Amino acid sequence: MQKITPFLWFDNQAEEAANFYVSLFKNSQVESVSRGPDGNAFIVTFQLDEQPFMALNGGPQFKFNEAISMFANCETQQEVDELWEKLTADGGEESRCGWLKDKYGLSWQIIPTALGKLMGAPDPIKANRVRQAMLQMRKIEIQALEDAYAER
């Protein structure tokens, strides 16, 4: 059994957010919704790609910030593009270097596996070119990283 589960505090959108997040990732589902006496969701348990999460409708006292983010590892540019588009839609905000905030204010890193491979290259000059290219991006573009790596 999972011993550590991320617990997300929402003002009043926990159920809506959980449904949105499970729509984005395979092997994901809302498991349960505990409702208060008014019938509104209080605690929502869900899984994103089999990782358990809990969400609470706790009120407006606390807001998300960049100190905590969700890291989505993507194999292809298509995965990066689809997640980026869906997570920035309806009020989400793009940031830099593969970071964004979704419409609920939760920070995400949408990162292709190619970034880690290219930045971890044994040649420090090539790795630095990749890092410099990444620093100029909002959404990570794999082809631009590969071009920076191959530059002579």
For the chain, percent helix, then strand, then coil, each to nearest 5? 35, 30, 35
Instruction: Give the pTM.
Output: 0.93
pLDDT of residue 37: 92
Residue 3 is predicted with a pLDDT of: 86
List Cβ neighbours of 126 (8 Å cut-off, separation of 6 or more): 118, 149
Cβ 108 vs Cβ 88: under 8 Å:
no
Question: What are the distances in angstroms from CA 81 to CA 76, 89, 99, 108, 109?
Answer: 9, 12, 13, 14, 12
**Spatial distance between the Cα atoms of 134 and 152, rounded to a whole number of angstroms:** 18
- Residue 98 has phi, psi (to 5 degrees) of 85, 5
What are 84's two structure tokens?
Answer: 């980026």
Rounded Cα–Cα distance for residues 135 and 29 (Å): 34
What is the second-level CATH architecture of the domain 64-152?
A: Roll (3.10)
Q: Spelled out in words, what is the top-level CATH class assigned to the domain 1-62?
A: alpha beta
Is residue 68 within 8 A of residue 87, CB to CB? The reply is no
Q: What are the structural domain ranges in the chain?
A: 1-62, 64-152
pLDDT in single tens digits along all 152 residues of the chain:
668 999 999 999 999 999 999 999 999 999 999 999 999 999 999 999 999 999 999 999 999 999 999 999 999 999 999 999 999 999 999 999 999 999 999 999 999 999 999 999 999 999 999 999 999 999 999 999 999 999 86
Query: 1-62 with 64-152: one CATH topology?
Result: yes
